[in-house]
A and B are shown apart, each in its own frame.
Chain A
Amino acid sequence: MASSSALESAGPGRPWNDPAAEPYIRIERVSKSFADFVAVDDVSLNIYRSELFCLLGGSGCGKTTLLRMLAGFEEPSSGKIFIDGLDMSGIPPYERPVNMMFQSYALFPHMTVDQNVGFGLQMENRSRSEIADRVAHMLKLVRLSEFGKRKPDQLSGGQRQRVALARALIKQPKLLLLDEPLGALDRKLREHTQFELVNLQEDLGVTFVVVTHDQEEAMTLSSRIGVMDHGKIVQVGTPQEIYESPRSRFVAEFVGSVNLFAGQLTASEPDRLRITCPELEQPVHVDVDESSVAAPLTALWVAIRPEKIQLSVQPPQAAANWTRGLVKEIAYQGNLSVLLIRLPSGKTVRVTRPNVWRHEEESITWEQEVYLHWHASSPLVVSA
C-alpha cells in the first residue's frame, strides 16, 4: 500500500499533481445528447502528454461517445475539446491529429496488411518509397513483418489487433484512441497483449486514451483511470487511488468486489471514526487519513474489500473491527479461495484467502463458526 504522501507528490511521472503542468488534452464542460437521451453530461477532464488514460464504465455510461467526440465522429452539444492547445470544434475526423483503433478493428477487407497500414500515409500523398519504409518499420514494431501481403481474413485475432494498432500509429498521432482494444481477444492472449501495449506506449511516448468496461484491464494499463457513470465522470485517479480510495459506493462496487455495511457515525475523533453498523456485532473503528473519507458523515457506508478481512477460529481480543459468522460456501479457485460467510444478522460477507500452502492444515470448512476481523486502516467510508 502506498502512503498518502506518495500519492500527492508531483514527480515527473505524475503531471496531474503539478498545478503548473499544461494539460495536453483539455475537455471543457462537454455534453452530448441524442434526441432525448443525454450520453455525456458536463464532463471536464485534463489528460497530460504521454499518459495512458482509461475511461472505465459499464455499457451506456457515455465512455464511447466521449471517445468518438475526441476522434471527431460526434460534435459536442456543448463544451469544447482542446488538443495540444488547438480548439477541435468543427474539425472533421480526417483533419484531426488523432487516430483511433476501433473495437472491431475495422480493417479494410479488400486491402492487404501493407495497404491497410499504409492507408493513412497514402492519404497524405506520401511517396511510395516512404510509405513502404514506414510500413515495414511499423510492421516490425508489432512483429508482423512476414504478413504484409496477407488479407485481414487470413490473420488470427491477435494479429488483426496488431495490424489495427500499426495502422493507427503510423501517422504518429498526437493522441491515440483505443476502443476496447483487447475486447475481442481470449483471456490468455489478452494478458500478454496488455503488457505489450503498455511497452509500446512507453517506447513511442504517444498519449493513449483507452475505453474499456473491464476494470482489470484498466488497472493493468493505465496511468490514470476516469470512472464514468450515467454520462458523468465520477472519479479520476491512479489505479491504486480508485481501488483503495473510492469516493462513492458506485466506484467501490464497480472496481473490484466489496462488502458494504450501512452505518451511523457515533463519534468523530481527529484520527479515528467510530461507527456502528446494525449488521455487524462490534463497532467499526476507522483510521482516518484524507484518502479514506469522502462522505457526509450522517448516513454512510462502510466498505471492506474481501481480501482485507482475516478469518480466525478463536474470538479476537479487540473491542472493535470484528464480527462472528458461519461459513456457507467455499469456492476453490486455485490461487485463492472465495468464502461466503453468513453473519448472525443474515448479511453475507465475501472473503478471499490466498492459498499459500498446497495442503492447508487447519483449514476452515463448511458450516464452521469463524471470526472475521480487519485492521482499522482497511475499511473505507463512502457516501451512498
Chain B
Amino acid sequence: MSGRTAVIALPYLWLLLFFVIPFVIVLKISFSETQIAMPPYQPLLQWAGERLADIRLNVNFGNFLYLFEDRLYLLALVNSLQVATVSTLLALLIGYPLAYAIARSDPRWRGILLMLVILPFWTSFLLRVYAWIGILKNNGLLNNFLLWLGVIDQPIVMLQTDFATYLGIVYCYLPFMVMPLYANLEKMDVTLLEAAEDLGCRPLRAFASITLPLSLPGVVAGCMLVFIPAVGEYVIPALLGPSDSLMIGKVLWTEFFNNRDWPVASAVAIVLLLILVAPIMYFQRAQGRESGGRR
C-alpha cells in the first residue's frame, strides 16, 4: 500500500535527516582537529593522492583525551550529575504530595487542578526563571520578606548559588514530575487501600506498603523526565547559578560560542550523550510498556 508507505516515510525521513544524521556528524567532528577556517574543523577523510589507497583517515582522539586530562570537564560532568540528582529528588519531594492530593481530590476538581499544574508550562520558561531572579536577589522579595519577619537581620545571598539552581530546575520541571505521577496514582484501584485497611493496616502504613510501591513506575517516569534534561540544562544555571558554576551544558555552550572549538564541543556532546544513553533507553522502554499495555 503506497499510502501507508508515505505516511511512515515522511516523518521517518525527516527524523533521519534532522535527528539521526546530525548525531553522526557530531560524532565525526568530535574526532577531527580544530582549524581556523569555516567550518573550523578538518575533514575526517582526506584525498592525498589519486588512488583509493591514498585516502588518509584523520581520526583524532585528542579531543576526548583533552576532556579527561583537563579536570574542569570531569568536574563539570560530576557536578551536573549531582545538581540533576538533587533537583530531581527535590522535585519528587514536592511533586509527589501534589500529584497525590490531586489524584485523591473530588473528581470534579481534578481536571481544573491538573490544568493549574500545567498552566505555568504554557507561559515562557525563560520568564519563569527570570521571576526567581527578582525573588532571590539580595534586595529581592524573599530577603525583604525574611527581613520584615525578623528571621534574619541582613540579606542572605541566594541568587547565584547552587540552591538557586536547584530551585530553578525544580520549579521549571515540576509539571513533568507531577503529570506521570498523577496518571499513575489516579488509575490506582482504591479498593486495594480499603482491602489493606480491612486487614488491619493503618492509613500511613497502607500508603507505604500499597500506594508507594504501586506508584513506582510513575516515580521512575517522572524522575527520568526531570533528570535527563536537567543534566544538560543551560539556561537555569546560567541565570540563577554561580557565575563559575560548572554545568556540562554551560561548558558545551562556552566551548562552542566563546572558544569556537567545535570539535571539543562535539566531544563534550558525545560524552554527555553516552552518559544519558542508559537513562534515555530505560525511559523509552518504560514508555513502550505503558503505551503497549501490560503484557
A–B direct touch, CB within 8 Å, in complex? yes
**Interfacial residues, chain A to chain B (CB-CB below 8 A):** 71-73, 92-95, 98-100, 102, 104, 106-110, 119-120, 123-124, 153, 167-168, 171
Interface string of B248-271 (1 = CB under 8 A from A): 000000000000000000000000
Query: Are B200 and A73 closer than 8 Å at their CB atoms?
Result: no
Query: Are A71 and B210 closer than 8 Å at their CB atoms?
Result: no
Return chain A residues, CB-CB under 8 Å to B205.
123
Of the listed stretches B63-71, B82-90, B96-104, B187-195, chain A binds: B187-195
Specify which of A72, A153, A171 is in contact with B199 (CB 8 Å cutoff): A171
Q: Does B213 lie at the interface of the complex (its beta carbon under 8 Å from any beta carbon of A)? A: yes
Return chain B residues, CB-CB under 8 Å to A73.
194, 197-198
Q: A104-B189, A106-B191, A108-B192 are in contact. Are A99 and B201 (CB under 8 A)?
A: no
Query: Are A99 and B214 closer than 8 Å at their CB atoms?
Result: no
Q: How far is the CA of A100 from the CA of B200 in the complex (A)?
A: 11
Q: How far is the CA of A114 from the CA of B202 in the complex (A)?
A: 21
**Which of A98, A109, A171 is the most central at the interface, judged by chain B CB atoms within 10 Å of its CB?**
A109
Would you call the interface of chain B mostly helix, strand, loop, or mixed?
A: helix
Q: Does B196 lie at the interface of the complex (its beta carbon under 8 Å from any beta carbon of A)? A: yes
Q: A102-B191, A104-B189, A104-B191 are in contact. Are A110 and B198 (CB under 8 A)?
A: no
Return chain B residues, CB-CB under 8 Å to A107.
195
Q: How far is the CA of A110 from the CA of B213 in the complex (A)?
A: 7
Return chain B residues, CB-CB under 8 Å to A120.
199-200
Which of chain B's residues 191-238 have a Cβ closer than 8 Å to chain A? 191-192, 194-203, 205, 210, 213-214
Query: Are A99 and B198 closer than 8 Å at their CB atoms?
Result: yes
Identify 16 new A-B residue pairs, CB closer than 8 A, beyond the known A72-B198, A108-B192, A119-B199: A73-B194, A94-B198, A94-B202, A99-B198, A100-B198, A102-B191, A104-B191, A108-B195, A108-B210, A123-B199, A123-B200, A123-B205, A124-B200, A167-B195, A167-B199, A171-B199
Return chain B residues, CB-CB under 8 Å to A71.
194, 198
Return chain A residues, CB-CB under 8 Å to B294.
153
Chain B, interface size: which category? 10 to 19
Q: In this complex, what residue of A is CB-closest to B192?
A: A106
Q: In this complex, what residue of B is CB-closest to A110?
A: B213
By Cβ-Cβ distance, the 7 closest A-B pairs, closest first, are A120-B199, A123-B200, A106-B195, A106-B191, A93-B197, A94-B197, A100-B198
Q: How far is the CA of A93 from the CA of B197 in the complex (A)?
A: 6
Q: How far is the CA of A104 from the CA of B193 in the complex (A)?
A: 13
Shortest distance between the CB of A156 and any CB in chain B (Å) = 15
Query: Are A106 and B189 closer than 8 Å at their CB atoms?
Result: yes
**Which of B192, B200, B210 is the most central at the interface, judged by chain A CB atoms within 10 Å of its CB?**
B200
Q: How far is the CA of A358 from the CA of B293 in the complex (A)?
A: 51
Q: How far is the CA of A104 from the CA of B192 in the complex (A)?
A: 9
Return chain A residues, CB-CB under 8 Å to B189.
104, 106
Shortest distance between the CB of B205 and any CB in chain A (Å) = 7
Q: In this complex, what residue of A is CB-closest to B216?
A: A110
Shortest distance between the CB of A10 and any CB in chain B (Å) = 34
Shortest distance between the CB of A365 and any CB in chain B (Å) = 53
Return chain A residues, CB-CB under 8 Å to B213.
110
Q: In this complex, what residue of A is CB-closest to B294?
A: A153
Query: Are A93 and B194 closer than 8 Å at their CB atoms?
Result: yes
Return chain B residues, CB-CB under 8 Å to A171.
199-200
Provide a sorted-by-A list of 25 A–B residue pairs whose CB atoms are within 8 angstroms: A71-B194, A72-B197, A73-B197, A73-B198, A92-B197, A93-B197, A93-B198, A94-B197, A94-B198, A94-B199, A94-B201, A94-B202, A95-B200, A100-B195, A100-B198, A102-B194, A102-B195, A104-B189, A106-B191, A108-B195, A110-B213, A123-B200, A124-B200, A153-B294, A168-B199
Shortest distance between the CB of B202 and any CB in chain A (Å) = 6
Q: How far is the CA of A110 from the CA of B192 in the complex (A)?
A: 11
Q: How far is the CA of A108 from the CA of B200 in the complex (A)?
A: 15
Return chain A residues, CB-CB under 8 Å to B295.
153
Q: How far is the CA of A109 from the CA of B195 in the complex (A)?
A: 12
Specify which of B194, B200, B202, B203 is in contact with A106 (CB 8 Å cutoff): B194
Q: A104-B191, A123-B205 are in contact. Are A110 and B200 (CB under 8 A)?
A: no
Q: In this complex, what residue of B is CB-closest to A164?
A: B195
Query: Are A110 and B199 closer than 8 Å at their CB atoms?
Result: no
Return chain B residues, CB-CB under 8 Å to A110.
213-214
Interface string of B269-295 (1 = CB under 8 A from A): 000000000000000000000000011
Shortest distance between the CB of B32 and any CB in chain A (Å) = 51
Q: A102-B191, A104-B189, A104-B191 are in contact. Are A119 and B214 (CB under 8 A)?
A: no
Query: Are A119 and B201 closer than 8 Å at their CB atoms?
Result: yes
Q: How far is the CA of A94 from the CA of B201 in the complex (A)?
A: 6
Shortest distance between the CB of B209 and any CB in chain A (Å) = 8
